[in-house]
Amino acid sequence: MTRAGYDEVVLLTGFPSFRARRMAEEIVSREAPRALVHAVVHPKLRKDAESALDGLPLDARRRVQLIEGDAAAMDLGLSGKEVRALAREVDRIHHCVQVSYVGAERAVAEQVNVGSAYEVLEIARACEHLKCLVVHSSASVSGDRAGVVREADLDRGQRYRNPVEETLARAERVYRRAMTGKGAVPIAVLRPTILVGDSQTGEVDRLEGPYLLILLMLAAPPDFVLPIPGRTDVPLNLVPIDFVTKAALHIGRDVRAPGRTFHLVDPHPLASRKVIELVAHAGGRRVPSAFLPTNLTRALLRAPGLERIVKSPRAFFEAMILPVTYDHAGADELLEGTGITCPPLSSYVDHLVSHVQKWLDARGERRDAEQHDPLA
């Protein structure tokens, strides 16, 4: 590990998850400041991590160094020698490791989301020149709160709808304690709202959340109109991954960021009805004429036996019935004048739908191939 020739050295956890991969690409795609990334990779994911780097230009590829470890293990699973070397070099840490799948077991969510918080803090405290530990969290830590949620809010009597929300909130409490007092760590917490794929390509790692709504529409017969659970007036705050990574990189480099929490949002979120209309039009489908009443939707989401088949869409459909607005004054302050803004959904919904359609087409081709008998 060497710092020579680099303006900045970044420790990145969670690689090669989609969020961490896009974060690494964003860091090394910029020539100034010239940055080196040390990406912590679980040994089981080494090949996936190497494949994830293949698409980068050679110079950028050389500036991402893979280190085998485990973000939920002691010292991130790194050796004492590796920790000491990182402590001398690292300027910033982007902590992207996260269990976000709402169907995850509680024990796994606790181990990764909470356990890794303690471990990355130990590494951060050891760093001799740390400017900022950037924690990639989620606006979902507000749980079932309605109304306006401020960036500084955390514990406001909310209930958590799944272990992911609860453990991410518990992790934020750990970070907040570390922000103050003797030996305070410079930490900035980022909370994006509902994350979707790239606004230019639609690329995403897995189809969940809003993508399941798109899947339902595209998989249904063209003349079939799906009744959608939710309310027509509730804003759905979607943010594309490219906006989030650009904002995260800039905020993490801003001297005003440590000690604060930032909501990364669409400043003008569309109502559920408008989102569904855009998706339907982009997919060539009829616009649903009816939304299920809120009380009926809640009852359906809690129906016995439904848990095993709707674990993934549950959080998204619950978001469609929760009237919540996320304050973003702090993020606006730091992003002002940078040109980094969340694009309107209308400008990229076609890419999201196209990505799902390509996935459905590829899935259909695989099924056809499996059913074909070459000896027939």
Least confident of 184-188, 335-339, 369-373: 369-373
Residue 288, pLDDT score = 66
Statement: residue 242 has pLDDT above 80: yes
Query: What pLDDT shows up at residue 1?
Result: 46
Condensed to tens digits (0 to 9), the pLDDT of residues 337-351 reads 999 999 999 999 999
| pLDDT for the residue 205 | 82
Out of 103-107, 146-150, 308-312, 353-357, pick the least confident: 308-312
pLDDT for res 206: 79
Q: Say if CB 161 and CB 318 are below 8 A apart.
A: yes
- How far apart (Å, rounded) are the C-alpha atoms in residues 44 and 251? 32
Residue 277 has pLDDT above 80, yes or no: yes
Pairing of strands 8-15, 92-95: parallel
The reported pLDDT for the residue numbered 2 is 46
The pLDDT tens digits for 59-75 are: 899 999 999 999 889 99
How high is the pLDDT of residue 204?
A: 86
Alpha-carbon distance values, 255 to 26, 92, 310, 323 (Å): 19, 12, 43, 34
| Nearest one of 195, 182, 200 to 19, comparing CA atoms | 195
Q: Where are the beta strands (DSSP E) in the chain?
A: 8-15, 35-41, 64-68, 92-95, 132-136, 147-149, 187-192, 194-196, 228-229, 235-236, 238-240, 260-264, 270-271, 291-292, 324-326
Q: How far apart are the first and last CA of the chain?
A: 58
* Across 13-27, 164-178, 212-226, least confident range: 212-226
pLDDT number for residue 373: 45
Contacts of 351 (CB under 8 A, 6+ apart): 197, 198, 199, 200, 201, 202
Average pLDDT (286-307) is 53
Does the structure show a pLDDT above 50 at 80?
A: yes
Per-residue pLDDT at 299:
52
